[in-house]
Amino acid sequence: MGEEEKKANTKLDELLNLLGLTSNRDIELEDVELDISEIILQPSVLSSAALKGIAPPKKKAAAPPTVKPTTILEAPFTPFVQEYPGKIREVTLGATKSKGGSRGKPVTIGGSTTPAFYLFEQVPSNPPVISVDVFDMEVTLPKEIRTHVEDVWEDTAAWAKRAVDKWGAKVLTLHLLSTDPLIKDTSPAKATKTVEEVLQAVDVPLIIGGCGDPKKDAKVFTKVAEMAQGERVLLSSVTLDMEEAGVLEGVTKAAAKYGHLVLGFTALDLNRAKELNRKIADYLPEGDILMDLTTAALGYGLEYSFTIHERARMAALMGDTELQHPVLSGTTNAWAAREAWMKLGPEWEPRRLRGPLWETVTALSLLLAGVDLFMMMHPDAIRTMKKVLQNLMTKGEVKPEKIANWVNAKIQRG
Amino acid sequence: MTEREVKMGVKQLSPIDVYMLLPRTNCKECGEANCMAFAAKLVNREVSLEQCPPLLTKENEKAYKKLQEILAPIIKEITIGRGEHAVKIGGKLVLYRHEFTYHNPAPIAFDVTDEMPLHARFPEEEAIIDRVKKVEDFLYNYIGRDLKLDMIAVRSTSNDPTTFKSAVEEVTKVNNLPLILCAFDPSVMEAGLIAASGRKPLIYAATKDNWKEMADLALMYGCPLAIFAPNDLDLLRSLSKTIIEYGVEDLVLDPGTFPDKGISTTINNFTMVRRTACKAGDKLLGFPIIGTPITTWFGEKDSDEMLAWKEAYLASMLISRYADILIMRSLDGWVQLPTVIWRFNIYTDPRKPVSVDAQLYTFGKPDETSPVMLTTNYALTYFTVESDLKSFGGDYYLIVVDSEGISVESAVAGRYLTAETIAEAVKSSGVADKVKHKYLIIPGMAARLSGETEEELKNVGLPDWRVIVGPRDSSGIAKLLKEKWPPKEGEEE
């Protein structure tokens, strides 16, 4: 130990010299300015042996002071900010007439240069966007959602119009669920007709959802891509299963040929996400790719989704080009959680609030993890998200006096 | 800065660093095979230093102190309350959950005021005893875990020492939960501290005007102290420095929780404070952060229902963004359920696998007549089904299919759960040799696979097996079995 200690102390001396730990002046570390009088060295920065000499003597030298302060000691705050080598690509959904489509207002997402809503580093260039789910057939939905749409089951175009006119959807997701060979096995031609009707009924950008069967989806997407030439619809989604089934190339080529975007779906696995993105990029420009990393419902694995999104965003910002695609969340999955819809007893009522709050919390958690595009369904959840987004996008002006006396404030009961 | 450097806080502390400071006698008193194994567990925070008796002796005092230092979390761990009713806050080792794991789930405190009556005098009147009881009685069983609420925050709306004192006395009489005392007037606070003597409440709060008196009270009563500097991080940091030099060691930081239009400022302040503590090693900010979604009730006027709604989602956002403790108002079940579940989730270990082993599981003592059910190996799916089967009681076989850790609905959509994988799993489980019936209950979410599955079962050598479509949610299994088990020939579907 003696030899080691000596070595450590030499190392320590070097370090202290390096840091100029003799005077009380400012030094520059990485991109950060730190006041040396308050620097603490992370134990992990140094070997344990080097630690032996460090913190305690310094601490003891500084504190405890013999005289207690009588006025506030100024210690201004400097936020730790950093520059990231990477950036999320900007992607535009939908195209106007002049760009070869017929959409009224294309929507641009992505472009982030910092983790989500680090406004102290950079105000995001594009706000995250909400797309409203519409299906091409009657589907099993919790009562709280069903009541808003059950009169338009049979008329997909009317359903789409409602989402746009009544709920203010800026993007629509049209799920062609009926194409599932195990459900109605609707033909690609008929599904394409439905897409055409919706394109005519509304002028917002469209996301086209498949049924999950790789081969059938490939057929449907290819047909839809051709019909909707130039509209920049987002095909949701392509998977590694499609690659296995030998149909990925056809779909992505069709998307490229007719000017559309592609969403790559993987199940909570960044390596697979990267692999899929690489394969899509063989045929489609990188700027036309979005990722779905899987959204699990609150209480049903949301934390896995939250963490994979935080990891993906951080890796992308740190320079991993294969993850620098905007991210989509199928937030309506929140309703898969039984707590969103199940009768649990009177103390957990009313469900008309519990359900949409479930979707809201699922959405907000992923919003803070970096999601750029949300597929949502309940009008109250959508309304809340829009409001929060509006507030989050601007450096708010707050009046400290508004909450300064909250401790003494009496509750006004409404 | 690369991600590797970002992770250094925890990751670069190697078991060797810790091992070198341990007694290295391999005495096994800690229960581990040797000192190296104990060191590895220390680094992973799976054991505490105090589990090594030799380390606590006089001769190892220096090493013990050093180990305490190198293992100390970036965010100080602070205890509120005493004994079995104490709660620990902070103690965070990392900024991002994926860097390690978050420790000490943020406790949630609920307010009562010193002008509330102890008992309600008319229906609908808010009373201390009712609110305390609601906090104590809150219970939700989530995949086998009891989720609860944690603390009481007593606010002085009277601003009168005598009134506050008697309210705190009442509160301490009717429950044992850890307390936060909320008052800005030091004489009011002292009255409360006298009433709560021995309970070690959190003092809320020191401000630019009262910090000196509050710091004196914190020292005198041995309590942790919160610093309140709404949207003034310069002041927050200055007060932290000042109060530390004054001699108070346990601080809690409140940069202010602003509802409505202030959400952006709130989230940014919380993030800046935590990030500067974690990434720049700013010791003055290395303390737990307190979030107060309760301020929603003093912001824009709205209906109670809307205010509770706003409070709920603000709380969830603060749980995601670094609050180590919360003060809330709404005790409605629909508000607290997502809050406590999200809290539970985000504090779980991210290294924990997403899936369980795909194999045959048994519940109770199944025999040749017991039902055979099937689900996927996504951990949350499995635990939900497991918790339901256990709560129903009875004897079952449960085949867990490898769906690559995906839930039933997504696995069916993504073709991870197919007729083929089901048939293969049934066959390899060997359950066909354990029962004399030929019925398989599949999840309702996989209903559309039922016909195909019967075909596939034939192909794997299990002819005549029939598929019964179960409920879409496993909570309906009891009902299904009551109505359809044992199945009568010809009406199983």
Distances (CA, A) of B58 to A314, B35, B66: 46, 19, 14
Cα separation, A382 vs A32, whole angstroms: 39
Q: What percentage of chain A carries pLDDT values higher than 90?
A: 74
Would you call A43 and B69 a contact, using CB atoms and an 8 Å cutoff?
yes
Task: Please tell me if the domain spanning B3-71 has the same topology as the one spanning B360-484.
Answer: no
B140 bridge partner residues: B147
The residues near B285 (Cβ < 8 Å, ≥ 6 apart) are A77, B236, B237, B240, B253, B273, B274, B276, B277
Distance CA B75, CA B95 (A): 10
- Is residue A40 predicted with pLDDT exceeding 60? no
Confidence band of A24 (pLDDT split at 50, 70, 90): very low
The reply to whether residue A41 touches residue B156, judged by beta carbons under 8 angstroms, is no
Stretch (H or E) spanning B218: helix B211-221
Residue B144 near chain A (CB below 8 Å): no
Cα(B376)–Cα(B385) distance, rounded to whole angstroms? Answer: 10
Spatial separation of the C-alpha atoms in residues A310 and A296, rounded to whole Å? 14
For chain B, domain boundaries: 3-71, 77-346, 360-484
How far separated are the first and last CA of chain A, in Å rounded? Answer: 70
Find out whether A186 and A179 touch, Cβ atoms under 8 Å.
Answer: yes
Task: Look at A303 and B233 and tell me if their CB atoms are within 8 Å.
Answer: no
Chain mean position to CA B123: 34
Contact B272 A120 (CB under 8 A): yes
Residue B149 to residue B156: CA distance in whole angstroms:
22
**For testing contact with chain B, the best of A118, A303, A318, A412 (most B CBs within 10 A):** A303
- Please state which of the four CATH numbers 1.10.15.40, 3.40.830.10, 3.40.50.720, 3.30.420.40 is assigned to the domain occupying B3-71: 1.10.15.40
The per-type count for chain B, helices as H runs and strands as E runs, is 18, 17
Q: Which of A41, A54, A58, A77 to mutate to test the interface with B (most CBs of B within 10 A)?
A: A77
pLDDT band for position A18 (50/70/90)? very low
- Chain B contact for A19 (CB, 8 A cutoff): no
Say yes or no for a CB contact (<8 Å) between B334 and A354.
Answer: yes
Distance from CA of B307 to the nearest CA of A (A): 10
Show the CA angle centred on residue B275, arms to residues B272 and B281, nearest 5°.
125
B436 contact A CB<8A: no
In A, which residues are within 8 Å of B292 by CB distance? 403, 406
Residues 382-401 of A with CB under 8 A from B: 384, 388, 391-398, 400
Chain B closest CA to A157's CA: distance in Å? 25
| Tokens representing residue B145 in the block | 């875990």
DSSP per-residue string spanning A252-307: HHHHHHHT-EEEEE-SS-HHHHHHHHHHHHTTS-GGGEEEE---PPTTTTHHHHHH
DSSP B152: E
Residues 358-377 of B with CB under 8 A from A: none
CA pair distance A133, A135, nearest whole angstrom: 7
How deeply is A24 buried, as exposed, middle or buried, from its count of CB atoms within 10 A (0-12, 13-18, 19+)?
exposed
B488 compared with B398, residue with greater pLDDT: B398
Strands (E), B83-143: 87-90, 108-113, 140-142
The interface pTM score, or ipTM, of the predicted complex is 0.85
Q: Do A75 and B380 touch (CB under 8 A)?
A: no
Amino acid (1-letter code) at residue B123: P
Confidence bin at B406 (pLDDT 50/70/90): confident
The backbone region for A89, taken as left when phi is positive above 0, alpha when psi lies in -120 to 50, beta otherwise, is beta
User: Chain B partners of A368 at a C-beta cutoff of 8 Å?
Assistant: 267, 317, 320-321
Do residues B119 and B129 make contact, with C-beta atoms less than 8 angstroms apart?
yes
Query: Which pLDDT value is given to residue A36?
Result: 39
Q: Say whether B354 and A301 touch across the interface (CB within 8 A).
A: yes
Pairwise pLDDT comparison (B129 vs B45), residue with the higher score: B129
Whether pLDDT at A59 is above 70: no
Confidence at residue A1, expressed as pLDDT on a 0 to 100 scale: 43
* Predicted confidence band of residue A66 (pLDDT cuts 50, 70, 90): low
Contact between B279 and A314 using a beta-carbon 8 Å cutoff:
no
> What is the pLDDT at residue B380?
81
Distance from C-alpha of A322 to C-alpha of A316, rounded to nearest angstrom: 7
> Per residue in B467-486, pLDDT tens?
999 998 898 899 999 988 88
Size of interface A-B (CB pairs under 8 A): 321
Distance CA A210, CA A206 (A): 13
Q: How confident is the model at residue A46 (pLDDT cuts 50, 70, 90)?
A: very low
What separation in angstroms does the CA of A260 have from each of A92, A174, A225, A374, B136? 10, 15, 7, 19, 55
Sequence letter at residue A120 = F
Number of helices (H), then strands (E), belonging to chain A: the values are: 15, 12
Closest partner CB to A34 (pick from B13, B280, B414) = B280
pLDDT of residue B109 exceeding 90: yes
Q: What pLDDT, on the 0 to 100 scale, is given for residue A31? A: 42
Q: What is the pLDDT of residue A371?
A: 98
Q: What is the mean pLDDT of residues B150-164?
A: 98
- The chain-wide mean pLDDT, for chain A, equals 87
Is pLDDT at A171 greater than 50 in this prediction?
Answer: yes
Taking the Cβ of residue A123 and every Cβ of chain B, the question of whether any pair is shorter than 8 Å is answered with no
Q: How far apart are CA B114 and CA A372, in angstroms?
A: 46
Residue A7 binned pLDDT confidence (cut-offs 50, 70, 90): low
Pairwise CB contact (< 8 Å): A267 & B294: no
Structure confidence at residue A302 (pLDDT): 95
3-state DSSP helix/strand/coil % of chain B, to nearest 5: 45, 15, 40
pLDDT of B249 over the 80 cut: yes
Q: Are strands A107-110 and A90-93 parallel, antiparallel or unpaired?
A: antiparallel
Inter-chain CB proximity A38 and B236 less than 8 Å: no
Residues on chain B touching A314 (C-beta within 8 angstroms): 3, 6, 96
Compute the average pLDDT of residues A184-211.
97
Q: Which of A78, A353, A410 sits opposite B305 (nearest CB)?
A: A353
| Nearest chain A residue to B114, by CA | A408
pLDDT at residue A144, as a whole number = 86
Is the four-CA dihedral A44, A50, A52, A57 of positive or negative sign?
A: negative
Q: Give the pLDDT band of residue B82 (cuts 50, 70, 90).
A: very high
Residue A77 has its nearest CB partner, among B234, B304, B334, at: B234
In A344-373, the residues whose Cβ lies within 8 Å of chain B are: 344, 347-351, 353-354, 357-358, 360-361, 364-365, 368-369
Residue whose token pair is 């006096």: A401
Please tell me which residue of chain A has the smallest CA distance to B180: A407
Q: Among B242, B309, B414, select the one facing A69 at the smallest CB separation.
A: B242
CA distances from B30 to A41, B33, B50, B66, B87 (A): 30, 9, 9, 19, 25
Which tokens go with A303? 């934390």
pLDDT at A286: 96
**Can you tell me whether residue B136 is helix, strand or coil?**
helix
Per-residue exposure over B54-92, b if at least 16 CB sit within 10 Å of its own CB, e if not = bbeeeebeebbebbeebbebbbbbbbbbeeeeebbbbbb
The predicted-structure confidence for B325-334, as pLDDT tens digits, reads as follows 999 999 999 9
d(CA A204, CA A224): 17
CA distance A292 to A286: 15
Structural domains of chain A, ranges and CATH numbers in brackets: 2-62 (no CATH), 90-392 (3.20.20.20)
User: Domain B77-346 belongs to what topology?
Assistant: TIM Barrel (3.20.20)
Q: Which CATH number fits domain B360-484: 3.40.50.720, 3.40.50.2030, 3.40.50.10470, 3.40.50.11600?
A: 3.40.50.11600
In degrees, rounded to 5, the angle at the alpha carbon of residue A164 between the alpha carbons of residues A159 and A167 is 95
